[in-house]
Amino acid sequence: MEYITLSNGVNVPALGLGTFMMSPEDTENAVYQALKTGYRMVDTANAYLNEEAVGKALARAIREGIVKREDVFISTKLWPTLYENDKAVDDTLTRPGVRRPDRKSVV
């Protein structure tokens, strides 16, 4: 897997799976299969309504020993009108299971 180093030093996989316009069921299956085949980046968004499905697939892949949480980069987005709403930020990280409201990692 090739990585791109961001200006803050974070390494992001150069190739990722986008989940725009995928149903939750299709998202869960596609993300799980992508992780099995070597993808380590998944893109979702609050508006896609499939963040929970991304989290379910990630949790399954972790349980089955396919990936470690620290090896997977998940990007998600909020609608601009929600930027100043701290609850919206916590919710969009909680839905895929990557952060609880207490700001600790779930998986």
Contact present, 1 and 14 (Cβ < 8 Å): yes
Q: Does the annotation count 48 as an active-site position?
A: yes
From the candidates 32, 39, 48, 83, give the one annotated as an active-site residue.
Answer: 48
Angstrom distance (rounded) from CA 72 to CA 66: 11
Dihedral angle over CA of 77, 83, 85, 87, nearest 10: 20
Active site amino acids: 48
